[in-house]
Structure 1
Amino acid sequence: MTPAAGLPPRKASRHRQVFLPVLAALVALAWTVLWAWTRSPHGRYLEHGDWTASGPAAALCQAVPAGGVVVPMVLYAMGWILMTAAMMLPTTLPLFNAFDRLTVGRPDHGRLLMLLGLGYMAVWGAFGLLAHVLHSGVLALLAISPTLAWHGWVIGAATFALAGAFQFSRLKYRCLEKCRTPLSFVIEHWRGRAQARHAFALGAHHGLFCVGCCWALMLLMFALGTGSLGWMLLLAAVMAIEKNVPWGRGLSAPLGFALLGWAAFVVATHV
């Protein structure tokens, strides 16, 4: 049975011609919204600063019960999901393409693709919330420890060192291998029963491996600035190459050495 079984060849070809432009349009839209957001008066909401001090966020915090906690988390979640869509969706093109070809003959094909994406984004959203809690904890620690705040570069150097060391870990390569063979992953985990639930679960399952592969690189955004489109584009390109390009797996070790060297440089310039 061919991947596009159930559809006439002309219709299947037309479908494939629509799929890639739609996904590309979604990615382009995410980057465009991020670009507009960073240049708007609300751009500071991407930087994890004191969002509740002034402006619309402060008004919402006063109007919403427990707004001082809820509003920053909602704003952060919106920014993180948007950033994840812009950075990570291009790296998952092989996954969506494999699932697209496998389910193209189903009448609910479009809904299954959407659920696959929702499952994937849900996992990254959960990781983003955990990262937000961790970042908030670090900021609280800096607020009560003037010595650590004065030597904040230590946190940046530690983040670079952690990301660099993780590039050589067994977990990194195990997860990266799953990300680099999406067709095998889909065939292995897609059962076709309870389609909606399984499509969401498939996206979430693949998202776990994606987080396992890229979490340390994504944490670099907190050291480099979560509102920096330049660093977002660079990291997105690195992760896309690692996952999708035939020689991408060979990039992991050089990148690890570069990050460890960056960490050493930060330490050397501050000691």
Structure 2
Amino acid sequence: MNPTAGPAPPILSRHHRVFLPVLAALIALAWMALWAWARSPYGRYLEHADWTASGPAAFLCRIVPAGDVVVPMVLYAASWILMTTAMMLPTTLPLFSTFDRLTAERPDHGRLLLLLGLGYMAVWGAFGLLAHALHSAVLSLLASVPTLAWHGWLIGAATIALAGAFQFSKLKYRCLEKCRTPLSFVIEHWRGHAQARQAFALGAHHGLFCVGCCWALMLLMFAVGTGSLGWMLVLAAVMAIEKNVSWGRRLSTPLGVALLSWAAVLVATHA
């Protein structure tokens, strides 16, 4: 340590002492909650199956108005928010870090960070509802067409192939570049007036690009099991590397090849 060096700037000191530990604790709590939920008697709710068949969810479905729709949606929203917090917050750490330093001197600094996070999570929540609707539609189709039910592997193979093909799309790289340059993104979209509205809009706007580059990989959870913590960790690591590591952009092509090969193997073994 250089004895002639002065003390660290207050903003950087607070950033390292407060912000980073708090965000790391939030991510750790989300993973711990998912682990505890998966190991509990209600772990099947993470798989989005049999929510209305038995247990507390079935009881709530009977006593809550429109419970067959409302209760599964609430349970799904809770599991999706936990998944998104655990998997996506590590990938967006540079955005929150940049915004934290930019707004550190403002008296409403904490509220602005919270609104940034809410805007980001709102977009992923909307995507989660769309994914839930698609998943429910696929399950209804399987239930009504016995031939498809006997060949359910086709849906998994198609999902994996879609994720692999998307790795080569221009949309993937355009959105990924926005996610990899958080400072430019914040400077481009943050004006400093109407702070609360702009903080939420900034988080939502960044969330759109985040969904744009990661939606196909997130859909893989429906193919490999939405309650699988192992796959969550693998996909979270892949997305974090793609966004935050200098060579992460080069990971997309081999990942696409691997996913397409996996889909081909599934087709070959079942055809």
Give the alignment's TM-score, normalised by structure 1.
Answer: 0.96
Which residue of structure 2 aligns with residue 66 of structure 1? 66
Which residue of structure 2 aligns with residue 230 of structure 1? 230
Are 1:30 and 2:30 an aligned pair? yes
| Counterpart AA for 1:242 | E
Secondary structure, counterpart of 1:105 in structure 2: coil
Are 1:16 and 2:15 an aligned pair? yes
| Counterpart AA for 1:231 | W
CA drift of 1:173 comes to 0.3
Which residue of structure 1 aligns with residue 3 of structure 2? none
Which residue of structure 1 aligns with residue 162 of structure 2? 162
Name the CA distance, whole Å, in 2 between partners of 1:47 and 1:76.
9
Name the CA distance, whole Å, in 1 between partners of 2:29 and 2:256.
31
Which residue of structure 2 aligns with residue 130 of structure 1? 130
Which residue of structure 1 aligns with residue 4 of structure 2? none
Secondary structure, counterpart of 1:52 in structure 2: coil
Name the CA distance, whole Å, in 1 between partners of 2:8 and 2:251.
38
CA drift of 1:50 comes to 1.6
CA drift of 1:13 comes to 3.1
| Counterpart AA for 1:14 | S
Are 1:77 and 2:77 an aligned pair? yes
Name the CA distance, whole Å, in 1 between partners of 2:42 and 2:128.
20
| Counterpart AA for 2:238 | V
- Number of aligned pairs? 264
CA drift of 1:10 comes to 4.8
Name the CA distance, whole Å, in 2 between partners of 1:49 and 1:43.
10
Alignment deviations for residues 98-140 of structure 1 (CA, whole Å, 9 cap, x no partner) = 1011111101001100100000000000000000000000000
Are 1:219 and 2:233 an aligned pair? no
| Counterpart AA for 2:12 | S
| Counterpart AA for 1:255 | L
Name the CA distance, whole Å, in 1 between partners of 2:197 and 2:246.
32
Name the CA distance, whole Å, in 1 between partners of 2:148 and 2:69.
25
Name the CA distance, whole Å, in 1 between partners of 2:150 and 2:8.
65
Give the alignment's TM-score, normalised by structure 2.
Answer: 0.96
Which residue of structure 1 aligns with residue 270 of structure 2? 270
Name the CA distance, whole Å, in 2 between partners of 1:269 and 1:53.
33
CA drift of 1:56 comes to 0.5
Alignment deviations for residues 141-170 of structure 1 (CA, whole Å, 9 cap, x no partner) = 000111000000100110010000000000
CA drift of 1:270 comes to 0.4
Show structure 1 runs of 5+ residues with no match: 1-7
Secondary structure, counterpart of 2:210 in structure 1: helix
The 3 A distance-change label for structure 1 pair 143 and 164 is: same
CA drift of 1:12 comes to 1.7
Structure 1 residue ranges (4+ consecutive) displaced by more than 6 angstroms after TM superposition:
none
Name the CA distance, whole Å, in 2 between partners of 1:117 and 1:16.
17
Secondary structure, counterpart of 2:125 in structure 1: helix
Are 1:205 and 2:192 an aligned pair? no
Which residue of structure 2 aligns with residue 56 of structure 1? 56
Which residue of structure 2 aligns with residue 4 of structure 1? none
CA drift of 1:14 comes to 3.0
Percent identity, aligned pairs only, is: 82
Secondary structure, counterpart of 1:137 in structure 2: helix
Name the CA distance, whole Å, in 2 between partners of 1:160 and 1:76.
22
Secondary structure, counterpart of 2:246 in structure 1: coil
Alignment deviations for residues 210-268 of structure 1 (CA, whole Å, 9 cap, x no partner) = 00000000000000000000000000000000000000000000000000000000000
Name the CA distance, whole Å, in 1 between partners of 2:58 and 2:51.
7
Which residue of structure 2 aligns with residue 256 of structure 1? 256
Secondary structure, counterpart of 1:227 in structure 2: coil
Name the CA distance, whole Å, in 2 between partners of 1:182 and 1:13.
18
Secondary structure, counterpart of 1:23 in structure 2: helix
Name the CA distance, whole Å, in 1 between partners of 2:246 and 2:11.
27
Name the CA distance, whole Å, in 2 between partners of 1:247 and 1:184.
19
Name the CA distance, whole Å, in 1 between partners of 2:236 and 2:27.
12
Name the CA distance, whole Å, in 2 between partners of 1:66 and 1:125.
21
CA drift of 1:184 comes to 0.2
| Counterpart AA for 1:49 | A
